[in-house]
């Protein structure tokens, strides 16, 4: 099959022929139909996060099942599926504590002694997050897929695997936005827009979208934002505090920068929570005014929207 391979960090992807193995007992072979392009992939390509090469990037995709292993009962050839990195083994410490999105993936990857799922000229090609969606086919553990209705267009379904569940999940699962809450979302790309719609679905009374691009702010209103702030025009923190007369209950960071994460914390009212979704580069240190912790302001991270994928994605 053809795949977009990262052969060296910092270099463009190369379209190469890659060999894909046959499905193991618990694996599913999928014909890829569509794949989202997430900024997270670019972080690894640019070396902001460690990446073994060669590797096939991509982690949110949709496709049609072509073959299944002997133990697979959840899907059959012909089923339409969506992939997600939030696969869960069901038996590790985090899974048993109800935090399956933090699963250690025990038993969901092939061991070093087994044949690799992907290879080229006999050498291993690494699988990005055990998925590798930038390819004509994907060979994954069956717990990495969710079956969807065939009426849902696959090019739209692909986005459910990351941008939708990550944004909506961050608002509803991680931040636990509730009816009547005030929310600021900083960054209105794919993740931020879905955080906005997640807050709207959760019943937030006021949702303030913050970005530097007018087009993204216009989209934010379609996704449920009640107010918009152009961060390039003036200090967004001051504007949020002024609009809400003291700060928001929730500030959600969907950019991945030190500056925006710190701004989210400063946007909080008493008892508020800042939730950071964006992948801030490794080595970055955040600076917060410690005295504000005394008023129970909090900052936390969110991984894949704290999503139990097999439950949350169909919802």
Residues 38 and 173 in one domain: no
Q: Is 45 among the domain residues?
A: yes
Residues 17 and 153 in one domain: yes
d(CA 188, CA 186): 7
Residue pair 200/223 in contact (Cβ under 8 Å)? The answer is yes
Parallel, antiparallel, or unpaired: how do β-strands 19-20 and 118-120 relate?
A: antiparallel
Residues 44 and 68 in one domain: yes
* pTM, entire model: 0.92
Burial of 303 (0-12, 13-18, 19+ CB in 10 A): middle
Q: Along the 315 residues of the chain, how does pLDDT read in single tens digits?
A: 999 999 999 999 999 999 999 999 999 999 999 999 888 888 889 888 898 999 999 999 999 999 999 999 999 999 999 998 888 888 899 999 989 889 988 888 888 888 999 999 999 999 999 999 999 999 999 999 999 999 999 999 999 988 999 999 999 999 999 999 999 999 999 999 999 999 999 999 999 999 999 999 999 999 999 999 999 999 999 999 999 999 999 999 999 999 999 999 999 999 999 999 999 989 999 999 999 999 999 999 999 999 988 888 888
80 in catalytic set: no
Tell me which of 115, 142, 161 is where a domain ends: 161
Tell me which of 102, 130, 161 is where a domain ends: 161
Residues 272 and 207 in one domain: yes
Q: What is the dihedral of CA 121, 122, 123, 127, to 10 degrees?
A: 90
Residues 121 and 58 in one domain: yes
Residues 69 and 151 in one domain: yes
Selected catalytic residue, list 35, 38, 264, 308: 38
Selected catalytic residue, list 43, 80, 126, 250: 43
Number of domains the chain is built from: 2
33-69 burial by CB neighbour count: b if 16+ within 10 A, else e? Answer: bbbbebebbebbbeebeebeebbbbbbbbbbebebbb
Q: Is 283 among the domain residues?
A: yes
Selected catalytic residue, list 84, 95, 133, 162: 162
Length of the chain in residues, anyone? Answer: 315
Q: Is 312 among the domain residues?
A: no
d(CA 33, CA 154): 7
Q: What is the pLDDT of residue 315?
A: 81
Residues 295 and 176 in one domain: yes
Residues 23 and 56 in one domain: yes
d(CA 295, CA 119): 54
Residues 25 and 134 in one domain: yes
Q: How many CA atoms lie within 13 A of 48 on its CB side?
A: 13
Whole domain around residue 48: which residue ranges?
2-161
CATH number, domain containing residue 19 = 3.90.180.10
Residues 11 and 155 in one domain: yes
Selected catalytic residue, list 40, 62, 163, 302: 40
Q: Is 313 among the domain residues?
A: no
Q: Is 311 among the domain residues?
A: no
Residue that has been written with the tokens 């209103």 in this structure = 221
Q: Is 207 among the domain residues?
A: yes
Residues 13 and 134 in one domain: yes
Distances (CA, A) of 102 to 97, 107, 266, 305: 10, 15, 28, 11
CATH number, domain containing residue 281 = 3.40.50.720
188 in catalytic set: no
* Beta pairing partners, 3: 16, 135
Residues 132 and 218 in one domain: no
Q: What is the pLDDT of residue 9?
A: 94
Residue pair 89/108 in contact (Cβ under 8 Å)? The answer is yes
Selected catalytic residue, list 51, 59, 100, 141: 59
d(CA 149, CA 240): 41
d(CA 174, CA 250): 11
Tell me which of 130, 161, 192 is where a domain ends: 161
Using DSSP's 3-state secondary structure scheme, residue 28 falls into strand
d(CA 315, CA 165): 10
59 in catalytic set: yes
């Amino acid at each position: 099959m053809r795949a977009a391979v990262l052969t060296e960090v910092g270099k463009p992807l190369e379209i190469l022929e890659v060999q894909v193995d046959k499905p193991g007992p618990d694996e599913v072979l999928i014909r890829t139909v569509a794949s989202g392009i997430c900024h997270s992939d670019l972080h690894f390509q640019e070396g902001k996060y460690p990446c073994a090469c060669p590797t096939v990037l991509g982690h949110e995709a949709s496709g049609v099942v072509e073959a299944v292993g002997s133990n697979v009962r959840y899907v059959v050839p012909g089923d339409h599926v969506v992939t997600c990195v939030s696969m869960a083994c069901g038996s590790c410490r985090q899974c048993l504590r109800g935090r399956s999105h933090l699963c250690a993936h025990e038993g969901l990857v092939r061991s070093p002694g087994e044949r690799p799922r992907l290879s080229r000229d006999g050498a291993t090609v690494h699988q990005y997050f055990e998925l590798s969606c930038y390819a004509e086919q994907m060979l994954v553990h069956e717990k990495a897929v969710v079956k969807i209705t065939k009426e849902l267009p696959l090019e739209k379904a692909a986005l459910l695997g990351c941008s939708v569940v990550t944004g909506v999940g961050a608002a509803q699962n991680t931040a636990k936005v509730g009816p009547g809450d005030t929310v600021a979302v900083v960054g209105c790309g794919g993740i931020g827009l879905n955080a906005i719609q997640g807050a709207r679905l959760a019943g937030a009374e006021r949702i303030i979208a913050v970005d530097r691009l007018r087009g993204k702010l216009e989209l934010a209103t379609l996704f449920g934002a009640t107010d918009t702030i152009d961060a390039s025009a003036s200090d967004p923190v001051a504007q949020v505090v002024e609009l809400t007369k003291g700060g928001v209950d929730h500030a959600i960071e969907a950019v991945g920068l030190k500056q925006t994460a710190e701004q989210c914390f400063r946007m909080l009212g008493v008892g508020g929570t800042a939730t950071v979704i964006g992948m801030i580069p490794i080595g970055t240190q955040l600076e917060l005014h410690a005295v504000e912790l005394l008023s129970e302001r909090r900052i936390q991270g969110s991984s894949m929207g704290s999503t139990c994928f097999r439950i949350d994605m169909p919802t």
